[in-house]
Amino acid sequence: MEKTRICIAVVRVRGVTGVRGDIQDTLRMLNLARNYNATLIDDRPSYMGMLRKVQNHVTWGEVSKDTVTLLLKERGEIVGNKRMTDEHAQKVGHDSIDKLAEAIYNLEVDFRSLQDIEPIFRLHPPRKGFKRSVKKSYRVGGETGYRGEAINEIIKRMI
């Protein structure tokens, strides 16, 4: 029986001053060049290994379909720093942003390979700030690392 893949949101929460080069390269491979950039990936082993490597600089978890839709509508951009509209979703073969979001959530479409759509979301720092330290793991009372379904709450605060 084949394991079903899930859609994961990754948000960079720390800078890279004084950080090893391989960690910087991994962040670049994930398209997380700056703080508060977010991207959508799946849970294949290569991505999970990359997340474990940069776990002290990012936070990630299983994203909901509503959050994917909200990200695309509010923060989705096409090449040239223009806002994403339903016309751009139609150019990549979907009726609307909602249908595109559903396809991305169900992993029918690879978000990073969509033509003319930026593979990242530029977010704001979270409203009311981080509740905990960005220097500690989520499990021990911080903000970085794996946070499961709680990623939806922090992304909504950052949009």
pLDDT in tens, 57-82: 999 999 999 999 999 999 999 888 89
Which strands form 7-12's sheet, in the order they lie side by side? 121-122, 37-42, 7-12, 58-62, 142-146, 133-137
Using one digit for the tens of pLDDT, what is the confidence trace for 73-132?
A: 999 998 888 998 889 888 888 889 999 999 999 999 888 888 888 899 999 999 998 888
pLDDT band at 2 (very low <50, low <70, confident <90, very high): low
On whether residue 78 sits in a domain, the answer given is yes
Query: Where do the H-state alpha helices sit in the chain?
Result: 21-29, 45-53, 65-75, 86-91, 97-105, 151-158
Residues 23 and 71 in one domain: no
Residues 107 and 97 in one domain: yes
Using one digit for the tens of pLDDT, what is the confidence trace for 137-146?
A: 999 989 999 9
Confidence (pLDDT) at 3:
66
On whether residue 72 sits in a domain, the answer given is yes
By residue count, the chain amounts to 159
Domain that holds residue 98: 65-118
Confidence (pLDDT) at 16:
84
Confidence (pLDDT) at 15:
87
Cα(20)–Cα(64) distance, integer angstroms:
33
Number of domains in the chain: 2
pLDDT band at 21 (very low <50, low <70, confident <90, very high): very high
Three-state DSSP at 32 gives coil
On whether residue 148 sits in a domain, the answer given is yes
Confidence (pLDDT) at 67:
94
Residues 92 and 70 in one domain: yes
Q: Are 35 and 152 in contact (CB under 8 A)?
A: no
The CATH number for 77's domain is 1.10.15.30
Q: Token digits for 8?
A: 């994961």
* Statement: residue 1 has pLDDT above 70: no
Confidence (pLDDT) at 5:
85
Q: Token digits for 156?
A: 């909504």
